[in-house]
Chain A
Amino acid sequence: MSTQTIEKAVEKKPAESVFSKRRKKFVNDPLSDDNPITVQVLGICSALAVTTQMKPTLTMAISVILVIVFSNLIISLMRSLIPSRVRIIVQLALVATLVTLVSEVLKAYQYDMYKELSVFVGLIITNCIVMGRLEAFAMANKPWDSVLDGLGNGLGYSWIILAVAFFREIFGSGKLFGWPLFEAMGIEHFPTNGLMVTPVGAFFILGLIIWVQRTKTGYVEH
């Protein structure tokens, strides 16, 4: 009996494994080779604005991942229903709804974070990465692939802003997640750098990250 079922399964075209090589690429590519921030240079606005400290940056990263993954999933599920002439506004409406939901949940359960991030949560709506993935990927691909693509791009965005925030918080305020790092190391008066606290500091760090990354990957702008 059991051999029969196996034979039948073999007759059908074998289903692609949930994490096949092709699908792993969706997640891995945006982390480095096709990173939304450092290679495509999207979502710079929030990368400069929220990255003064690790804590709000982490909240922002999680929010963006949730929004990208779910909007990719939903748009991909509806992709054959969406009239092509109004597709952009449909995507926008969905993204705006998801972002508002995130913002409402933050207001209810993480009020301090909600206040600190204030307008930037709302500005996820205009984050080019989200709309870019919907238009470029979710409109033409299957739901699971789209989820992975969203996850990859969300993580690609997240690790960059977390890296920027890491250096900005250490050198700008001498802290890590609000914890006084240098005092704990016994350095009483660490000279913090005011430049790191301003958005200009984020530009410098972002530039350095892009430099290091492009040296490693050999990516050249065409």
Chain B
Amino acid sequence: MQQSNTYIIVFSAVLTIVLGGLLSLANQGLKPMQEKSVELDTKSKILSAVTDLKGKKGQVILDLYSETIESIVVNIDGEVVEKDEKGAPIVAENVDIAKNYKKAPEDRLYPVFKFHQAGNKNKVESYIFPIYGKGLWGPIWGFIALETDLNTIKGVSFDHKTETPGLGARITTKEISDRYIGKKVFNDGGEVVSVIMRKGENNPASLLDEHHVDGLSGATLTGKGVNEMLESYFMHYEGFISKTKSNASEKVALLY
């Protein structure tokens, strides 16, 4: 059956409006739930860099987060930034790392999440930094937690958008993140050497010193992305790290 052009145009227009309306309705209706999911996901990722969240869910994680995390935002020199250009206060959790990644390193905002004992803000147990970079197919990101010496890695959690399932996507697993625990960021001279993922899997232990971890078989390029991401962000956070270190040593000096 051949319909007239008018019919086709009217039909298409109505269809577009109905389907479009349906989609925007669903988008609006599901938005609060989606935002909560994203918030929970971000906070779980931050916390999972320092603690094991196994068995914890939803509100428990959000409560734990508000009890144990204090966040600040610094610039590349390690100075605390509290307000943006328009004078609005900056919230570390809302800083979009992906958007900041597009700016030049010296213009970016760098959130720092301080993990402390529940209820005791002064007793910082570790510092958590968000990181961002390029994997093989798309962006990769994560959080890396350093011990109070700001050198030893306490934990990491990686995430990705489109890495190959089963290969590069393995960076999100505990198996991989556990490999980073206890590795060192700086050498004895205080320079950033970062932690490098080796090529290939099951490397001999002699190759896996305190600056190297075992690689991902079949995902060398994702590993390379992780290496670049880690190194560049250690550089970016160096300002904050050295400032915090010297503050800490001053405090120690005052005690004596």
Q: Interface of A with B (CB < 8 Å)?
A: 49-50, 52-53, 56, 81-86, 89-90, 93-94, 97, 100-101, 104-105, 107-109, 111-112, 115-116, 118-119, 172, 194, 197-198
Contacts and interface: CB of A to CB of B under 8 A. Distances in A.
Nearest to A86: B8
A111 B41 contact: yes
A83 B26 contact: no
Contacts of A56: 165
B217 A49 contact: no
Say whether chain A's binding surface is mostly helix, strand, loop, or mixed: helix
A216 B27 CA distance: 47
A194 B38 contact: no
Contacts of B40: 111
Interface residues of B, number: 30
B218 A198 contact: yes
A94 B15 CA distance: 9
Complex A-B, nearest 10 residue pairs according to Cβ-Cβ distance, in ascending order: A111-B37, A197-B166, A108-B33, A52-B166, A108-B30, A83-B3, A97-B19, A83-B8, A108-B34, A52-B165
Given A85-B3, A105-B26, 12 more contacts: A50-B165, A52-B166, A53-B165, A56-B165, A86-B12, A101-B23, A108-B37, A109-B37, A115-B41, A172-B166, A194-B218, A198-B167
B165 A49 contact: yes
A123 B26 CA distance: 19
Contacts of B167: 197-198
Nearest to A105: B30
Contacts of A94: 19
